[in-house]
Amino acid sequence: MPRVGWLRIIALASLMAAVVGLQVVQAAHPPLPLPTDSGNMLYVRSPAFMKRAALSYDALVADIYWIRTVQHYGSTKLANDKKKQYDLLYPFLDLTTSLDPSFDIAYQFGAIFLAEPFPSGAGRPDQAIALLQKGLRMRPADWQLAQELGFVYYWWLVDNQSAGEWFNRAADMPGSPNWLRPLAAVTLAEGGNTATSRKLWTQVAETSEADWLRRQARFRLAQLDAMDEIDILTRAVQTYRARVGMLPHNWLELVRVGLLRGIPVDPDRHMLELNPETGKVTLAPDSPLNPLPDSEHRL
Amino acid sequence: MRTIGLVAISVFRESVRDKILYSLVIFAVLMISTSYLIGQLTAGQDVKIIKDLGLASISIFGLLIAVFMGIGLVWKEMEKRSIYALLSKPIRRGEFVVGKYVGLVLTLFINLGLMTVAFYAVLAYMDLTTSADIRASWAAPATDIQMLRAVALIMVELMLVTAIALFFSTFSTPFLSAMLTIGLWVIGHFNDDLRNVGGYVKSSVAASIGKALYYVLPNFAAFDAKAQVVHAQAVPASYLVLTGVYGLVYVAFVLLGAVTIFSRRDFI
């Protein structure tokens, strides 16, 4: 090989060795600090402008905003930061549904993302209602949107009257299932108890077309089972106290006196916890059914 | 007619030699990759997103082919000075321009056909690998034949874009032709705004000019039925025929303009 050829090979090998060496040095250095702001940024907030800018690709741009919505919701929900915010959720959903007014999943899931209490969701049932009402203006005969509105009033605003009225309106719409009318009647007459909640979630689990929503409904039903179980166990603890004169230290003591057949577990097979000082029964901290709804919110 | 056919076939062969079909490979890879990734990125509606992306890709790739090949059709012959040899043969200038146009439309037609086959193949795969209960929640079947109506309108739109690109290329440089064609295509999506300009401005003259432009400029927004077919909304045959005829008449108008300008050009 001529001398120039060898020199070229040596130069190439030297440069590659230098690149690898520098990469090793760089890897040993601490990375640059992350920016201190939340990084939540939305350059365009005007649906009217974006609809024009998208030309004939508005449905595709709506898909992109929907994917960004899901990512924003998912990453914020999973973040451990106590200052986390779902501040872009509504603008994203507004853009998505303005660009593609027939994007029914964006209305349905979006309302759930918005209405769920913080930190699982944005805790903004008012925005969920605004989104669903926008959907109903676009699709006035969509019973699922009216039913969703009923759900928001029932679960997150604890307003049985409005919930029942929306279930009734949904029942009036073409193609609505026949269980909606009795549901409206039950909500108006006996709303507020867990039996009504169980009926609502059972209907969603059995009839929803969206897989994600069915999973959500099954999760809520498991939470309801856990709450019922906690009620039964709390009564057993009180019975033990009445018989023995003191609170039990653990579950085995209740088993020994015949109040329990075995160690109680929640529907997700996690052992339930007993506080020996207060007698309070709770889910295990690592149970995926946490957090159970508090007194302000229903299940 | 035979001369037009010969020119058209030569344009088609040249397009294939230009490796234009590589764009199809990129398209197919993009589509297939997307179908796998999309399930990870979204909650539900993955088939809707694949349909949106597929139809938009067909439209965008087709637009790029139409613009960037259309602007070079005549200019390339002048740049290579082969126009002198061509025009010295028994071929009329009008036949030359129309032949060039037909050749590129043929290329576009085959490209769009192959892209549509790839699009339906991905959707058929989605259909096969999805459970029956999820399929039941879709607004329309994955391989809904109605989507061909949107593809047909895209084809007419691209025929018009090609004619416009060819028109500009008869008297302008490729860069300027591309800018003018894309500019006209963008303006053509704002036709409704032109019609309603009277609602935004006080001047009645401006409102009249806006309205006149609405009727004169090509209405590209009319060729968009992508969102409708994805949501299984009806695109009536009457709309398809009316828009198709509108597009073809506009193509004839633009081609006649191109032939007129090209016939008056002095190459000596």
| Tens of pLDDT, residues B129-165 | 887 877 777 778 888 999 999 999 999 999 999 999 9
Q: How many domains does chain A have?
A: 2
Asked if A199 and A285 sit in the same domain, the reply is yes
In chain A, residues 39-68 whose CB comes closer than 8 Å to chain B:
52, 55-60, 62-63, 66-67
Dist CA A230 CA A251 (whole Å): 13
Predicted confidence (pLDDT) per residue in B243-268, tens digit: 999 999 999 999 999 999 888 877 65
Q: Which residues contact B189 (CB under 8 A, 6 or more apart)?
A: A55, A56, B220, B221
Kindly report the nearest CA distance between residue B226 and chain A, in angstroms.
8
Share of chain B above pLDDT 70, in %: 91
The whole-number average pLDDT for the span A109-133 is 90
pLDDT of residue B42 exceeding 70, the answer is: no
At residue A264, the 3 state secondary structure works out as coil
Q: What average pLDDT does the structure give for chain A?
A: 84
Share of chain A above pLDDT 70, in %: 91
- Residues of chain A in contact with residue B193, where contact means CB-CB under 8 angstroms, are 52
Residue from the list A59, A67, A211 with its beta carbon closest to the beta carbon of B230: A59
Asked if A121 and A223 sit in the same domain, the reply is no
Q: Which of A81-90, A200-209, B102-111 has the highest mean pLDDT?
A: B102-111
- Residues of chain A in contact with residue B220, where contact means CB-CB under 8 angstroms, are 56
In a domain, A224, yes or no: yes
Predicted confidence (pLDDT) per residue in B206-237, tens digit: 888 888 888 889 999 899 999 899 988 888 99
B234/A contact by beta carbon, under 8 A: no
pLDDT of residue A296 exceeding 70, the answer is: no
pLDDT of residue A166 exceeding 70, the answer is: yes
The whole-number average pLDDT for the span A37-44 is 64
Q: What is the pLDDT of residue B193?
A: 81
Q: What is the pLDDT of residue A294?
A: 60
Q: What is the pLDDT of residue A92?
A: 92
Dist CA B149 CA B226 (whole Å): 9
The whole-number average pLDDT for the span B168-185 is 92
Asked if A222 and A294 sit in the same domain, the reply is yes
Predicted confidence (pLDDT) per residue in B65-101, tens digit: 889 888 887 887 777 777 777 777 778 888 888 998 9
Asked if A298 and A210 sit in the same domain, the reply is yes
Kindly report the nearest CA distance between residue B63 and chain A, in angstroms.
12
Q: What is the pLDDT of residue B41?
A: 67
Beta bridge partners of A271: A265
- Residues of chain A in contact with residue B227, where contact means CB-CB under 8 angstroms, are 58-59, 100, 102
Asked if A264 and A202 sit in the same domain, the reply is yes
B186/A contact by beta carbon, under 8 A: yes
pLDDT top residue among B49 and B28? B49
In a domain, A179, yes or no: no
Asked if A130 and A203 sit in the same domain, the reply is no
Q: What is the pLDDT of residue A224?
A: 85
**Could you list the residue range(s) of the whole structural domain that residue A226 is in?**
193-299
**B46-70 vs B147-169: helix crossing angle, rounded to 10:** 20
Dist CA A147 CA A173 (whole Å): 10
pTM for the complete prediction? Answer: 0.72
Asked if A202 and A131 sit in the same domain, the reply is no
In a domain, A178, yes or no: no
Cα–chain center distance at A165: 25
The whole-number average pLDDT for the span B25-38 is 69
- Residues of chain B in contact with residue A205, where contact means CB-CB under 8 angstroms, are none
Q: Which of A19-33, A39-53, B60-74, B247-261 has the highest mean pLDDT?
A: B247-261
In a domain, A149, yes or no: no
Report the residue of chain B nearest A207, measured CA to CA. Answer: B133
**A89-99 vs A104-115: helix crossing angle, rounded to 10:** 170
In a domain, A100, yes or no: yes
Asked if A203 and A268 sit in the same domain, the reply is yes
Q: Among A101-105, A242-246, B194-198, B240-244, which stretch is predicted with the lowest mean pLDDT? A: B194-198
Longest dimension (CA), chain A: 101
